[in-house]
Amino acid sequence: MTEQLFDLTLTEDQRITRESLQRYSDTELNAISRSSDENSVPPKDFLDNSMMLGLSILPIPEAYGGAGMDRTPLSNVLNAEDLGRGDMSLAIAMLTPLAFVNTVLDQGTERQKEKYLTPLAAEKFVAATIAIMEPRATFEPSTLETKAVKKEEGYVINGVKSMVALGESSAFILVIADLEGEGPSGFIVEMDAEGLRYTEEKCMGLRPLELSRLHFDNVLVGASAKLGENEKTLDLQRLIDLSRLGTCALSVGCCQAVLDYVIPYVNDRVAFGEPISNRQSVAFMVANIAIELDGMRLMVLRAASRAEQGLDFHKEAYLARTLCAKQAMEIGTNGVQLLGGHGFCREHPVELWYRNLRAIGILEGIASI
């Protein structure tokens, strides 16, 4: 059996982009992270100003007003990691339209690409999102309680979706519903659709993200709203796998922020006449964070590399998600523990990162790369 290898050397474009996004995270996102969490909303014009990064415009074809850059899952996970290091909530808000764009590019028709992607290439931020999750403890993406029924005039959708990023402000919502006789399918619903109702969801983390619960009560969409129309069925597993890589990359970035914060803290914090990093229990905990973080990063990069090469990456995405969901919570917990009483205080950002990292194990359909 031939060993599978992947190259960790960055291209020139990736290197330049990483340097730019890391500066943006360090200066812009870090500066507003705490206030955004306290107010449960990002500063006014933040999302409009984030358009200068061009994240959602890059893959949109030039014919529809975008930059027409090649789709690159590997570069996208690097971008998500760098933004997650600044603030995971704000990063998800910035990347949510990109998830919609990538899915339409992957699985939509040319007519759908022109209709839905052209508005997203505007200079101002236009929100678009994907609604997969449902409010039940046993939720599984392949078994949906949101139903769609085909009618002469189109499709009628009934059900409830939860934890939808930018749900209430999105111009376009890609709803994943079980289509009678076909299985999971995607339907693009516009924000003013009759029968669509929104309620706000408040969570312990991701507070500035605008998470919404969407209620679909006999929402009628036209036949052209079905993703791919009648040409093909939805490749739900690909959508889920790419989304999991995106959220994993965000968790890697946030965990990197934890590590970068606790190292100088334990070196500077003096107890009983010496830095607490001199104690083995503290040093080993910091070392374990670094070890597990590298493992998370390498698993995400391997899965993204396979996706970029057009190879099957379902197993790699699943393993990356399993590891990141477990270790992200542990790293967040250990970060708080290393700060002792300060870890409980809001004057330090570690408690904020801990709360955000708790969401990694439950998010689905967000930040598809």
Give the other-Cβ count within 10 Å of 44's Cβ: 8
pLDDT of the residue at 369 = 81
φ and ψ at 212, to 5 degrees?
Answer: -130, 155
Name 288's Cβ contacts closer than 8 Å, sequence gap at least 6: 334
Q: What percent of the chain has pLDDT over 90?
A: 84
> Average pLDDT in the 192-202 region?
94
Q: What is the value of pTM for the model shown?
A: 0.93
pLDDT, tens digit (0-9, with 9 covering 90-100), for 65-123: 998 888 889 999 999 999 999 999 999 999 999 999 999 999 999 999 999 999 999 88
pLDDT, tens digit (0-9, with 9 covering 90-100), for 341-351: 999 999 999 99
- pLDDT > 70? residue 231: no
Indicate the length of the chain as a whole number: 369
CATH number for the region 129-225 comes to 2.40.110.10
Cα–Cα distance, 48 to 163 (Å, whole number):
23
pLDDT of the residue at 287 = 97
pLDDT, tens digit (0-9, with 9 covering 90-100), for 243-292: 999 999 999 999 999 999 999 999 999 999 999 999 999 999 999 999 99
- Multiple choice CATH, 236-357, 1.20.140.10, 1.10.3720.10, 3.30.43.10, 1.10.10.10: 1.20.140.10
Cα–Cα distance, 159 to 291 (Å, whole number):
43
- pLDDT > 70? residue 1: no
What are the tokens at 249?
């990359």
- Cα 31–Cα 32–Cα 36 angle in degrees, nearest 5: 160
* Backbone Cα Rg of the chain: 21
Candidates 309, 340, 332; CA nearest to 5 is 309
Q: Is the dihedral of CA 297, 302, 305, 310 positive or negative?
A: negative
Own/partner pairs for 198-205, CB < 8 Å, 24+ apart? 198/167, 198/168, 200/168, 201/162, 201/163, 202/40, 203/163, 203/359, 204/355, 204/358, 205/89, 205/352, 205/355, 205/356, 205/357, 205/358, 205/359
What are the tokens at 34?
């705490």
> Average pLDDT in the 306-333 region?
95
- pLDDT > 50? residue 43: yes
pLDDT of the residue at 47 = 94
Q: How confident is the model at residue 5 (pLDDT cuts 50, 70, 90)?
A: low
pLDDT of the residue at 4 = 61
CATH fold for the domain made of 12-124: Butyryl-Coa Dehydrogenase, subunit A; domain 1 (1.10.540)
| Burial state string for 121-156 with b = 16 or more CB within 10 A and e = fewer than 16 | beeebbbbbbbbbbeeeeeebeebebebeeeeebbb
- Indicate the pairing of strand 211-221 with strand 196-200: antiparallel
CA distance readout (Å), 165 to 140, 246, 289: 18, 14, 29
CA distance readout (Å), 244 to 17, 100, 271, 280, 351: 22, 14, 41, 35, 24
> Average pLDDT in the 44-48 region?
93
- Cα 201–Cα 202–Cα 208 angle in degrees, nearest 5: 100
pLDDT of the residue at 34 = 96
Give the H or E element holding residue 281.
Answer: helix 280-308
Chain-wide mean pLDDT for the chain?
A: 93
pLDDT of the residue at 68 = 86
Contact yes or no for 331/279 (Cβ under 8 A): no
* Structural domain boundaries in the chain: 12-124, 129-225, 236-357
What are the tokens at 140?
């599984």
